[in-house]
Structure 1
Amino acid sequence: MDIFSIEAVTRELQERVAGARVNKIHQPGPDDLIIRLWTGREELRLLLSAAPRLSRIHLTTRSYPNPFTPPRFCQLLRARLGRLLSLAQVPGERIMHLDFAGPGGEEYRLVLELFGRQANMLLLDAAGRIIDALHRVQGEGGKRSLLPGERYQAPQPREGMWLESGVPEIPTDLPFASWLSGQVIPMAPLVARNLAALVADGASPAAALGEFRGQWLDKRFAPTLGTLNGEAVLSAFALPALELSDARSFATMSEAADAYYYAQAFEVGRVGDRGELETVLRKGLKKLRSRLEKIESEQESLEDFDRQRQLGELLLANLHRVRKGMVEVVLDDYYQDPPAPVTIELDPQLSPQENAQRYFKGFKKGKRGVSHVARRIEESREELAWLEEAALALEEAQTPAEVDAVRRDLEEAGLIQPPAGPVSRRKVADPRDQLRKTETPGGFVLYWGKNNRTNDYLSRHLAEPDDLWFHAWQIPGCHLVLKRAAHKGAIPEEDLMFAASLAAGYSRGKDDSKVEVMVAEGREVHRPKGARPGLVTVARYRTVLVAPRRLEEE
């Protein structure tokens, strides 16, 4: 979060939350805190983050997961903070001071250092000593020591030309944007680029900087979110010279920051433990594929078990030619066409009959092994298909609730441990609330799932026997149902192909030019007994080849 965005948020918070009572404090992630504040009129949620690349402070209306067991720093803040007295930004720095009163009137200061990779939060007592830090830092290699019990040392202030004092003399031998970012305080990279673009269009550097200085001194903030060179950007001021695409203006800096950072945090896996689940799925898929490869190699080694029976029968038919003590015997193999000599190995310690029985035992063992291996292969393939569907659901997830649905599936499968605490406190999302829905050109209603749980609901409960069921052929994808309703005739080809294209679009083949899609009647789709949610067998189906399609609004 750049220095102007912090300043804009600070002014907003000073007006809205100064004096508010602390209702609750949550720590949804390792670097994030949410403080619920009661102002006397409304409850507001203040988000503080020391996440690398995403360090920030603003009000939020978004939903974030809440761990059952609060981490160490969160427990400390819950015990010490009672009321937010005031907020202030350190002039020219990306540092915030939030002053609180404790339950007994004690004074505390929560310091936010929003420095990217070195971002941190520290709780200080009235004497300026560190009670604790979100990230404790040993004072080694020139670093500041940030440990409990030590006096807090603020970072060295930046050196440069203060814009508040006036428009500084502008050098002519340095790139304007680089000079602004490196020497002028305060300054933000986007603002510097915008001013440089104005100069490139013919404006005087002094005039451009002077006009911006007046805008900043008057606090004429214009929170803006847009896209620049393919990347989302956030600014406390409008950036007319940069010509942002998809530019949006917001009434408050918190609203703009909430929209921008939620998308950024979700993308990098910092909302709903998405990153953790991606790691679990990646390791699980690798382990399963390795197991399946090993079992299939075992299957190859067992495929000659029937040969053991043939060799045993050859020995029984030629007992008169075999004597105890022989290590091998050459017999005519009439199982070959034409018959040919075969050398059969013998155990010299066994009688001819016992050697024959030894081969029959090998046949029985191999037969049992083949059946066992075939069952293990089928189970592993089902588990792999289920896990691949879960991985696709996580990729497609757009909200913490959808991420949590994947987490629940992995918990029930035993791949991750459920959080400590009473299960009853966890709100279970209704699968019906997570279905996607649209209509075909002919007006037939389509439903499709976002994860294994909603796919299971679709195929087992929503799909009627006469409805049509769709799924991408042999690749992970959604279950999609076309509701036939009162229509008794054949579904028009245009509607059928539209439904199939959506099933392809919400599958692993979404970026392919063509995808083969299964089409079956609802009565042909069943979940095997004991199978995990989302796994089905299809008795009869046909396939169609379509181009993948996704809803335009997505």
Structure 2
Amino acid sequence: MAIDGIMLANCRHDLNDKLITGRIDKIYQPEKTFLTILIRNNNQNYKLLSVIDPRQSRVHLTDLSFDNPKKPPTFTMVMRKHLTYGVIKKIEQPGFERILKITIENNNKTFYLYLEIMGRYSNVILTDQEHIILDAQKRMGPDKNSARTLMPKVKYEFPPPQDKIDPRELKQENWEKLISEDIEKNLPRAILNNIQGFGPDSTKEIVYRAGIDLEKNYSELNQKEKNKLLDQLFSWIDAIETGGFQPTVGFDKEEKFKIIYQSAFPLTYLKALEGVEYKTFENSGKLFDFFYQEHIIKRDLAREKKRLQDIISNYLDKNSRQQNKVRGKLEQSKHADKYKRRGELLKSQIHKIDKGASEVKLIDYYSEDQPEVKIPLDSDKSPAENVRRLFKKYNKLKKSRSHLVKQLAKLRHEDKYLQNVELELSQAETEEELSEIAEELKEEGYIKKNKQKSKDNNKLPPRKYISADNYQILVGRNNRQNDHLTKKVANQDDIWVHTRKIAGSHVIIKRDTDKPVPESTIYEAALLAAYFSKARESENVPVDYTKVKNVNKPKGAKPGIVYYENHQSVYVTPNEEELKQILKRTAEQSN
């Protein structure tokens, strides 16, 4: 979501408030488009975050944490060389452009850090005191940008100026002349075209607060409306100059991930719409942290989940098509004996076959009533060749049948596995859960492995619950964890619980005595097994349970696939209230 000059003025105000005279301690580049600068000031630590990704370009103080690469990029090394232990002297915003200029003094030298927050043109540029570029986060040669070059040893130039007035220079005398350029355009557009820093939302808000229809143009206003419009403009400019910001996010009431706006001031013209909620923050950093942590991360999580679901869905469709194809071939292979019989008949009565015939009628001596049967022939082949052709077809079908039976079993096995993954994806709620599922799919060959090594993530623990009888119940989050839980974590006499012939998590009841597990605990474990299965919304779900020693994994089976014996069964209906009781009890005991 684009930042306008006013929102950046809000950021500049907050940075000035905290960072002036601060000393730069550390510099990192967590991602290609991210830059974090750790600053110590007045016995406080601050983290300045700059992002030049066009989808989320911004600059602000942040409380978010990031993983930093082991090997810092070249730009980070240049920044560290010149700025580490430097002191921040000034933070300026030329006009109301979307650029911040930070002046830093270090080792009796002056450096300038330009943060250009301009959508796809966003960049961070470091220069010396003569404004010669030392490096840019995104280097731009003349071949990429004809307007200016952003490369080391080249003099830094501001982006081409817009033909707009700095709002601080706006006076009643020059206002009429300025607006007359766009006198026939609607008022928000006319202001946007002529005054720096204002985005589409800001200009609409000014007109709305003046009590004027957003579609009106300046020529349609009476003098009272003209005065009210100018008063509103001056009121906004005064609030910007005095730091009277109210950073606000507006979002859809129904779709919490859908941000409608982010602004340095509440947008009351949107507040009037049904279904729009807003939240105001104490500073710009809190706003951006909320927006990107609570919404962008969740939105990206939803996108990653959909990406993985689409992959699984495609493989399930492919598996279904392959099963149908194999079943068709199996159906054909049932006719193998028919070709053998025809071959025997041709062989025993070969003297009756005319060369070049396309069919022959022969007595079927193998049937009791010995009927006459018609056998199709290949007219291009001799009688002996036709006999060999039929026996060859018989042998081929006979051999293929055993292969097809194995192939169908393998496809059914894969289908069961993919349905388990599909279920896990539907229940995954965190980045870590999705990451583990994606890693499993890579290991199983469903997703191409990156050349780059995967991050060494700590494995997620299984879900843990406490029964009413104080037994610990463990629930697997994914197929690999199901395997680990059943074959590594569980003891032989622990109780294994699973929905019957329904994709779901492995559930383990931990036993620390030889006493039989109470029925109430079995019931609660069965409830959890049904809830964490495809039967979550069903009634009377069959759930089997047995000792872990009765559960075995077939050789070469996919993750999570097991078979079991000597089981007992219980039928349960996942009930929200009963599940809440289990969750509440677990939470109380963990506190």
TM-score (norm 1): 0.74
CA-to-partner distance for each residue in 1:329-365, whole Å, 9 max, x for gaps? Answer: 6442868999661416587495899677535522432
User: Which residue identity is paired with 2:93?
Assistant: Q
Q: Percent identity over the alignment? A: 18
Provide the C-alpha distance between the structure 1 equivalents of 2:66 and 2:369, rounded to a whole number of angstroms. 72
User: Which residue identity is paired with 1:237?
Assistant: F
CA spacing shift, 1:108–1:208, aligned 2, 3 Å? closer
User: Which residue identity is paired with 1:33?
Assistant: L
> Could you tell me which residue of structure 2 aligns to residue 322 of structure 1?
350
Contact kept, 8 Å, 1:82 with 1:101, in 2: the verdict is: no
2:196 aligned residue (185, 198, 204): 185
CA spacing shift, 1:372–1:530, aligned 2, 3 Å? closer
CA-to-partner distance for each residue in 1:136-170, whole Å, 9 max, x for gaps? Answer: 44546974243424333311233334332355447
> Could you tell me which residue of structure 2 aligns to residue 370 of structure 1?
404
CA spacing shift, 1:72–1:326, aligned 2, 3 Å? farther
2:332 aligned residue (292, 304, 317): 304
User: Which residue identity is paired with 2:436?
Assistant: A
**Residue 21 (structure 2) pairs with residue 21 (structure 1):** no
Question: After superposition, where does 1:83-122 map in structure 2 within 5 Å?
Answer: 83-86=85-88, 87-99=91-103, 108-122=111-125
Contact kept, 8 Å, 1:309 with 1:363, in 2: the verdict is: no
Provide the C-alpha distance between the structure 1 equivalents of 2:467 and 2:264, rounded to a whole number of angstroms. 41
Contact kept, 8 Å, 2:98 with 2:197, in 1: the verdict is: no
Provide the C-alpha distance between the structure 1 equivalents of 2:163 and 2:496, rounded to a whole number of angstroms. 71
Aligned length: 530
1:251 aligned residue (276, 279, 282): 282
Provide the C-alpha distance between the structure 2 equivalents of 1:208 and 1:338, rounded to a whole number of angstroms. 106
> Could you tell me which residue of structure 1 aligns to residue 234 of structure 2?
210
2:460 aligned residue (410, 416, 430): 430
Contact kept, 8 Å, 1:82 with 1:100, in 2: the verdict is: no
Contact kept, 8 Å, 1:500 with 1:546, in 2: the verdict is: no
CA spacing shift, 1:381–1:145, aligned 2, 3 Å? farther
Contact kept, 8 Å, 1:133 with 1:148, in 2: the verdict is: yes
Q: Secondary structure at the match of 2:449?
A: coil
User: Which residue identity is paired with 1:95?
Assistant: I
Provide the C-alpha distance between the structure 2 equivalents of 1:438 and 1:59, rounded to a whole number of angstroms. 42
Provide the C-alpha distance between the structure 2 equivalents of 1:124 and 1:296, rounded to a whole number of angstroms. 66
TM-fit CA distance, 1:34 = 3.0
Q: Secondary structure at the match of 2:335?
A: helix
Provide the C-alpha distance between the structure 1 equivalents of 2:440 and 2:499, rounded to a whole number of angstroms. 22
User: Which residue identity is paired with 2:101?
Assistant: H
Q: Secondary structure at the match of 1:158?
A: coil
Contact kept, 8 Å, 2:495 with 2:508, in 1: the verdict is: no
TM-fit CA distance, 1:135 = 3.5
CA-to-partner distance for each residue in 1:179-237, whole Å, 9 max, x for gaps? Answer: 33333333344433333332228993233333333322211222333326864232223
Q: Is 84-93 or 129-138 further displaced after alignment?
A: 129-138
Provide the C-alpha distance between the structure 1 equivalents of 2:329 and 2:14, rounded to a whole number of angstroms. 72
CA-to-partner distance for each residue in 1:401-425, whole Å, 9 max, x for gaps? Answer: 344334433443353435746x7x7
Unaligned runs of 5+ in 1: none
TM-fit CA distance, 1:116 = 1.6
User: Which residue identity is paired with 1:120?
Assistant: N
User: Which residue identity is paired with 1:111?
Assistant: Y
> Could you tell me which residue of structure 2 aligns to residue 343 of structure 1?
375
Provide the C-alpha distance between the structure 1 equivalents of 2:498 and 2:479, rounded to a whole number of angstroms. 15
**Residue 505 (structure 2) pairs with residue 479 (structure 1):** yes
> Could you tell me which residue of structure 2 aligns to residue 157 of structure 1?
161
Provide the C-alpha distance between the structure 2 equivalents of 1:294 and 1:256, rounded to a whole number of angstroms. 51
Contact kept, 8 Å, 1:334 with 1:340, in 2: the verdict is: no
Provide the C-alpha distance between the structure 2 equivalents of 1:293 and 1:342, rounded to a whole number of angstroms. 35
Question: After superposition, where does 1:51-200 map in structure 2 within 5 Å?
Answer: 51-67=53-69, 70-71=72-73, 73-74=75-76, 76-77=78-79, 81-86=83-88, 87-99=91-103, 108-139=111-142, 143-149=146-152, 150-166=154-170, 168=172, 169=175, 175-200=186-211
TM-fit CA distance, 1:49 = 0.9
Provide the C-alpha distance between the structure 1 equivalents of 2:265 and 2:239, rounded to a whole number of angstroms. 9
**Residue 262 (structure 2) pairs with residue 262 (structure 1):** no
CA-to-partner distance for each residue in 1:87-131, whole Å, 9 max, x for gaps? Answer: 3333311112344567x7765544222112322333434443444
Question: After superposition, where does 1:232-251 map in structure 2 within 5 Å?
Answer: 232=259, 233-239=261-267, 242-243=270-271, 245-251=276-282
Q: Secondary structure at the match of 1:212?
A: helix
Q: Is 517-526 or 149-158 further displaced after alignment?
A: 517-526
CA-to-partner distance for each residue in 1:254-287, whole Å, 9 max, x for gaps? Answer: 1111111234432553x8xx86886577457536
Provide the C-alpha distance between the structure 1 equivalents of 2:70 and 2:309, rounded to a whole number of angstroms. 23
TM-fit CA distance, 1:25 = 0.7
> Which structure has the bigger radius of gyration?
2
Provide the C-alpha distance between the structure 1 equivalents of 2:80 and 2:321, rounded to a whole number of angstroms. 51
CA spacing shift, 1:80–1:93, aligned 2, 3 Å? same
Provide the C-alpha distance between the structure 1 equivalents of 2:74 and 2:368, rounded to a whole number of angstroms. 75
Provide the C-alpha distance between the structure 2 equivalents of 1:207 and 1:471, rounded to a whole number of angstroms. 72
Contact kept, 8 Å, 1:27 with 1:74, in 2: the verdict is: no
